[in-house]
Amino acid sequence: MRLSGIKLAGFKSFVDPTHLPLPSNLTGVVGPNGCGKSNVIDAVRWVLGETSMKNLRSADAEDVIFNGSKTRKPVGRASVELIFDNSDGQIAGPFAAYAEISVRRELMRDGNSQYYLNSRKCLKRDVTDLFLGTGLGGKNQYAIIEQGMVSRMIEAKPEELRQWLEEAAGISKYKDRRRETESR
């Protein structure tokens, strides 16, 4: 599985529809301070269901919508789409047969939010479920390593460390399902 492209519109500084193709395994994002490099990472986290405002570097949920600049008015909607190349079939389950998987999230200024998988409306839960066990699974994701995370891993308590290992071993999704079944 590989992230092969990101499409943004109205998300933070990306007011106009923008397509960032990621054609190779090695991609670097370079540019002057404040040009939007970190906003790209925030966008990836956001689509995958990030709820921590701190991790999104935002004051509140609607803060991710483009809120205007000297020359442009604010917009009413943020949309981000991640395109994954799944030709290795790493994303299993109902989407295993798809060589390309698109995950999209939209947010309106009135707070309405919607997730899409391959253009079909779905629940946030469907998105997080899909990525459990790939390293992008929910709160135990380790595919995005930001400043401070390495020391957090080194200093982690055994229980926390175990959660990362379970995500890496691909068993967190089964534990999650068991927890859900037991709570019914």
Q: Rule CB under 6 A: which residues touch ligand ATP?
A: 12-13, 31, 33-39, 63, 65-67
Which own/partner contact pairs does 58-67 have at CB distance under 8 Å and 24+ positions apart?
61/107, 61/111, 61/113, 62/107, 62/109, 62/111, 64/11, 64/12, 64/107, 65/10, 65/11, 65/107, 65/109, 66/10, 66/11, 66/12, 66/13, 66/14, 66/15
34 is in an annotated binding site: yes
32 is in an annotated binding site: yes
If contact means CB under 5 to 8 A according to the sort of partner, which of Mg ion, ligand ATP, none does residue 181 touch?
A: none
Is 106 in contact with 77 (CB distance < 8 Å)? yes
**What is the footprint of Mg ion within residues 22-41 (CB under 5 A)?**
37-38
If contact means CB under 5 to 8 A according to the sort of partner, which of ligand ATP, Mg ion, none does residue 34 touch?
A: ligand ATP
- Minimum distance between the CB of residue 106 and Mg ion, rounded to whole angstroms? 24
If contact means CB under 5 to 8 A according to the sort of partner, which of ligand ATP, Mg ion, none does residue 14 touch?
A: none
119 is in an annotated binding site: no
If contact means CB under 5 to 8 A according to the sort of partner, which of Mg ion, ligand ATP, none does residue 16 touch?
A: none
79 is in an annotated binding site: no
Q: Which is nearer to Mg ion, 42 or 106 (CB)?
A: 42
36 is in an annotated binding site: yes
Instruction: Specify burial of residue 75 (Cβ count, 10 A radius: 0-12, 13-18, 19+).
Output: middle
Residue 5 parent element (H or E): strand 2-9
Numbered residues of the known binding site for ATP: 32-39
Numbered residues of the known binding site: 32-39
